[in-house]
């Protein structure tokens, strides 16, 4: 069943916005009477039927609504911004894996200090990935935020990627709660940053015996964490 984004999942008639109308009408070529799945970005979902297909927009009638599922855990990754193409790829793959929130973090050695003009693109990439992987609750994207602001946030478990840390296979996870992972830039964290992270409650973990790019390290940590949950 095709999936469409709607402003709000509520019973009754709803008009798709311009971009989603174009997607439904000109890309998917949906016709009146076609049943579709709908979601609104809050975690709510439902089933609807196309009732009008016009140049001015596409309308559907939502006949069934389901509430947002509640996960017992939440994975938040703080990542130094990689190069542009890699950041898009990372957003897509973290959505597919089930990461709850991606926070871009400014570090001392970050090559990309700002994401100006890229937030809207990251959100489009995340929306497309959410649709493709049949996820209901989208991944939030935030930042960039200062390094110290991120490490001071509360979490039930905190891991920072470090080649000299313990291997992830030696670690254990709680069944419930908020998990924070922190991945640095290609030059690595400074000693001052690693000490600050440790003082903030972060355990140093090694995600691979090899030298990884930022996006690879972030994806590896997310995959291992989610597989362990």
- Structural domains of the chain sorted by starting position, each given as residue range(s) with its CATH number in brackets: 3-66 (2.40.240.20), 73-228 (3.40.1280.10)
3-state secondary structure of 220: helix
Residue 215: strand, helix, or coil: helix
* pLDDT for residue 171: 72
Q: Could you give the CA distance from residue 142 to residue 119 in angstroms, rounded to a whole number?
A: 8
Model confidence, pTM: 0.81
Residue tagged 């016009």 (tokens): 54
Q: What is the mean pLDDT of residues 96-103?
A: 95
pLDDT higher than 70, residue 113: no
Please report, to the nearest 10 degrees, the dihedral formed by the alpha carbons of residues 20, 22, 24, 30 taken in order.
Answer: 160
Cα–Cα distances in angstroms (integers) from residue 186 to residues 66, 132, 169, 214, 218, in the given order: 43, 30, 23, 6, 11
Q: What percent of the chain has pLDDT over 70?
A: 94
pLDDT digits over 160-176, tens only? Answer: 998 888 887 677 776 67
H-helix or E-strand spanning residue 46: strand 45-54
Q: If we measure between CA atoms, which residue out of 225, 209, 204, 206 comes closest to residue 77? A: 225
């Amino acid at each position: 069943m095709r999936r469409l984004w709607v402003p709000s999942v509520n019973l009754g008639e709803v008009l798709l916005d311009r971009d989603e109308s174009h997607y439904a009408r000109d890309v998917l070529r949906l016709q009146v009477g076609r049943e579709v799945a709908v979601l609104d970005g809050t975690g709510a979902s439902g089933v609807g039927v196309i009732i009008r297909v016009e140049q001015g927009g596409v309308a559907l009638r939502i006949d069934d609504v389901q509430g947002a599922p509640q996960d017992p855990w939440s994975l938040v990754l703080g990542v130094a911004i990689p190069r542009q193409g890699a950041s898009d790829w990372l957003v897509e793959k973290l959505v597919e894996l089930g990461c709850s929130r991606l926070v871009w973090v400014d570090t001392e050695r970050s090559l990309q200090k700002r994401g100006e003009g890229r937030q809207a693109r990251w959100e489009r990439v995340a929306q497309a990935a959410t649709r493709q992987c049949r996820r209901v609750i989208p991944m939030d994207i935030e930042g960039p935020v200062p390094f110290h602001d991120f490490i001071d946030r509360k979490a039930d478990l905190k891991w920072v990627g470090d080649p000299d840390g313990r291997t992830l296979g030696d670690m254990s996870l709680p069944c419930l709660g908020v998990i924070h992972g922190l991945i640095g830039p290609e030059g690595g964290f400074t000693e001052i940053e690693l000490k600050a992270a440790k003082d903030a409650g972060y355990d140093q973990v090694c995600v691979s015996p090899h030298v990884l790019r930022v996006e690879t390290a972030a994806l590896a940590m997310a995959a291992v964490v989610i597989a362990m949950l």
